[in-house]
Structure formats: structure tokens, C-alpha cells
A and B are shown apart, each in its own frame.
Chain A
């Protein structure tokens, strides 16, 4: 792997903070296929060492964005760089830093998987002896070393998915790009893969993950970008995204009234009666719950049970990609209920 150029790190002034090059920097990146705008001016920054998620429905432009970075898609306009290297003018340096595990299988069918890994490492300038050693390590890491002399086509579905990760790892990349790595795999394998990539991230590898599984993003990512129709809708940590939504507090009352009682609290967004339950939506359910119980007690209602449902990332995701303002999920429920 070649060394980073001196402009990677800018020492602005001795006492000022050091500006470290971004792992991924995209500015107004566009890609069109005729009338279809696959990427519509994406600007995105991923810091070194970050675990970054790309969320979005099918056709959002996630894979197009990834393929633009690695050279499988030619951008229409805009700029992008990987660790400070432009993806077109310095494509060799940029590609040398990336390990890609694509969603679609694109593995050399002529050779046993061990040799496929040796070839891949060799393309990155790794000597044959070192490549052979790395291939063994990568296969052991993903748990398919026993199948090293088997061709890709003869592997089971789960093994194929494991191999895709091994191929991305064999070059010891600084940026690991995983495009739907756990799509269609069983729970055990999904957890195995999560464990492997979490360890890699802990050891300093920057990870860009696209996924349909909200739980995956919520569990693994430091930050996520939500994309739709080639555009970036928002970037935030999963926690702060969830804070944008409303929590739902369900209070079971001993004698539920037909109309919701009047409770004077600005933090309440909406409230309604659902059978024996009073349902309240608010940004921070945990904070408002004690005040709610007191207010109900004062007005003569006995609370038998209480349950707080946190906003899920999925609800925020659905709200954003449906063009709604995040956090109105509760209100929508109220409208439906009424």
C-alpha cells in the first residue's frame, strides 16, 4: 500500500487543532442515467475510523454512491475523494485504500477461493507469499478456511456471504465498504459478521455500511445518512435521529374516561384515549412520565400500568423517506385513531 501524501494532514498552526483528512469526502456528486438521476448532488463526509451507515429504500442511490467511489460507476459531475485522493485523477491511491464487499456476487469462478484472494491481494501489490498468508488469515477470520480449495460456486449461500467479506479484508483496507453484507443471511451469521466488522472498526478501520436493516444501523453505526431518490435527507447519529421522533406513553387507567383529561404541559404533543389506555406522545417520554402520573392523580384517575415506547430509527426513517417531518409519527397515529 502506498504512503499518504504530505497534504493528508494540514498543520495549520502549531497550537491549532490538526485537520485530519476525511476517509470519504463527496461534494455535490451527481450521476444520471438518461432521465434518471441516480445521485442528485450528494455531499457527504465520513471521518477516519468512523462506522458510517447509508440507509435508504431501493433506488435511493446507495450502491451507485459506493460504486462511484470504487470506479465501477463514472460520476456525471461533482467531486469525491478517499483519504484525500481524488477518485478519478488519483484513482490508484484511492482504490488501494478500499476493500469492497458488494451486495451482488462478483467472484472469479475459475479459481478456488484461496487463489481468488491471493490474486486480489496481488493486484494491490502484495507479494505472493504475503498474499497467501493473508488469504489464510482472511478465510479463518470469516470461518471458511476448510473450504479454501473450493470454487465460489460450490459454497453455500452463507459461505458466499462470508467470502465476500474475506475478499474485502485480504488487502487490509483502511476503508471497508459493505453493501448490504447481511442481506438474506440467518441470524447466527448476521451476528458473526457484526462481530467481525465491529472488531475491525475498533482496530481503526473506517467502515461504510449500507443496509436495509434499521436494527443493524442502530446497533453498529456512529452516524447514518438517510438517502432517498439520489439525495441525502439527513446525517446524524442513530440516537439523535431517534430523538427527532416522539415517544409514546401508554397509561392504563382504572376508570378510563371517554375523552382525554386536560393536562397542562407544553411537552405533550398529543393525547387520546384508546380503550382503557390514555396514549400520550412527547419528545422525551421518560422526563414527562412522572408529571403525567401526578396530573392524572390530581384529576382523580388511578394509573394501573405505564409503558413508554421509544421512537425507533425505523419510524424516523419511514417518516423521512415518505417526505414527512420526523417526529410526527405519533400525531399521525392520533389522526388515524380519531
Chain B
């Protein structure tokens, strides 16, 4: 392993160890939350909610996976960087001979991995629920490659976005603000719990300005085999946005935004 690779791998390893060693903080909360979502919306209320062509639990699962995956990817990179800045131990990374690109890639990859693990966890809960209920068809994955592609891209995207959040925040409250007042509303109005076609034409078009819609609809197509938006276009746009955000992250690190005096 070359000198440069060792530095990159070490920082990724450190970042992964940070959340893997604290499962009660990182993996347990989304497990409980999503189990509750599926019990209430999928099992208890699901029978009363009509969605064309599929049961409600099947319909909401892709949205819940997106919600959990992007929230955790964002939270991980933003918290890790902000906490490092707050306690100044990010200096250990800053003063090391890592390139700015390596620093960004480490934070983004490790955070995207956490988002992906959450996606797998929520998917597994969905599979468990549908297999336990005899009246329900098991969860299927119509386009498994697309499932993987969407999960990878959306977690990378929000991990990259989280880097900006971690550099921008000056207080813990700022992280809460970003999560509660920006990400969560976008997710809830991102066709997680309702099909776009239930909205009036105006709100359907307005929803298309919400990037979360493309993620939810994309993953829905990959899992169920049908959606209201072209998944190829969604994946392409999301990939471009991710690349742009990573480039912005690198520039911010290079300029020392939030990092240097």
C-alpha cells in the first residue's frame, strides 16, 4: 500500500470505527423508528390506504429507505467534521500530509457507507415485516442493480452535502436546523408517503423542484418496477449533483473554509 493510500485508508477506517463502535447511537435509533413507521403506516393503517397497484407497506418502504439513508449520511459527515472543529481535533487531519481531496473523499465515503448500512437495515426490516405477515406479498427488488446504484448515489450526495454543513456550522444548533428545517421537510414532501399523482397538477410540478422526489421515485422504480419519473434521468441528475458537491467540498477544504484562521 502506498504512502498516500495508507493515509486515505486510515482516515476512512477512523471514521467508520467512530460510528460502528456506537451502534446505540447510530444504528439502533433508525431501526426502532423505521420499525414503528412500518407497524403504524404499513400494518395498522396500511390496509385503509389505497395506492394503485401495490400495498401501502411496499409503497412507502423505498421512501423510508431514502429518508433513513440520506439522513444518516448527512448527519455522519456533518457531525464528524463539526465535532472535530468544535474540539479542534480535526487539526490532526489538517496537519497531516493528506491532500484536500483525500480528506473529502474519506469523510464522504465513510458517511455514505453509514447511509448504505442504514438502507440495508431498513430494507431488511421491510423484508422481515412482509414475510411475517401472511396476507402480504414479500418485498421484491425489480431492478437490483438500480437499487444499489440509487442507494450509493443518494448517500454519496448527502454525505457530500453534510461536509458543507459540517464546515459551515458554528454551533450544534446549526446542525439541528439543517436536519430539521431543510432535510426533513424535503423528505416528507418528497413523495415518501403519497404518490405524486394524488397531488393537483400544480403541486405535482412544484414537487419536481424537490430533489428528494427523484431519489424516492428512482428507488421506488428500482424496487417495485414502476414510478412516475424516468429513473435513468433521475440517476443521471443525482450523479451530476453529487460530483458538483464533492468538487465544492474539495474547494472548501482547500480554502480552509471553517477550518483555518
A296 within 8 A of B: no
* Interface residues in A189-241 (C-beta closer than 8 Å to B): none
Question: A108 contacts B89, CB within 8 Å?
Answer: yes
C-alpha gap A129/B77 in the complex (Å)? 28
Closest-by-CB residue of A relative to B5 is A125
Closest-by-CB residue of A relative to B106 is A123
In-complex Cβ contact of A108 among B9, B92, B97, B256 (8 A): B92
B94 within 8 A of A: yes
Given A120-B92, A120-B96 in contact, is the A126-B6 Cβ separation under 8 Å?
yes
B89 — which chain A residues lie within 8 A by C-beta?
A: 106-109
Question: A124 contacts B91, CB within 8 Å?
Answer: no
Question: A73 contacts B260, CB within 8 Å?
Answer: yes
Question: B97 contacts A104, CB within 8 Å?
Answer: no
B2 — which chain A residues lie within 8 A by C-beta?
A: 125
Instruction: Identify which of B11-19, B29-37, B50-58, B191-199 touches chain A.
Output: B11-19
Closest-by-CB residue of B relative to A97 is B97
Question: A125 contacts B97, CB within 8 Å?
Answer: yes
B173 within 8 A of A: no
Count of B interface residues, CB-CB < 8 Å: 30
C-alpha gap A93/B14 in the complex (Å)? 23
* Interface residues in B197-220 (C-beta closer than 8 Å to A): none
Given A71-B95, A95-B97, A106-B91 in contact, is the A125-B260 Cβ separation under 8 Å?
no
B260 — which chain A residues lie within 8 A by C-beta?
A: 71-74
C-alpha gap A65/B4 in the complex (Å)? 27
A322 — which chain B residues lie within 8 A by C-beta?
A: none
In-complex Cβ contact of B18 among A73, A105, A110 (8 A): A110
C-alpha gap A92/B92 in the complex (Å)? 14
B94 — which chain A residues lie within 8 A by C-beta?
A: 70-72
Given A73-B260, A125-B6 in contact, is the A106-B97 Cβ separation under 8 Å?
no
In-complex Cβ contact of B261 among A33, A70, A100, A105 (8 A): A33
In-complex Cβ contact of A100 among B13, B88, B93, B95 (8 A): B95
A102 within 8 A of B: yes
Chain A interface residues (CB < 8 Å from chain B): 1-2, 33, 64, 67, 70-74, 91-93, 95-96, 98, 100, 102, 104-111, 116, 119-120, 122-128, 167
Q: List 11 A-B contacts (CB under 8 A).
A: A2-B3, A71-B95, A92-B97, A95-B97, A105-B88, A106-B87, A108-B14, A109-B89, A111-B14, A122-B6, A123-B11
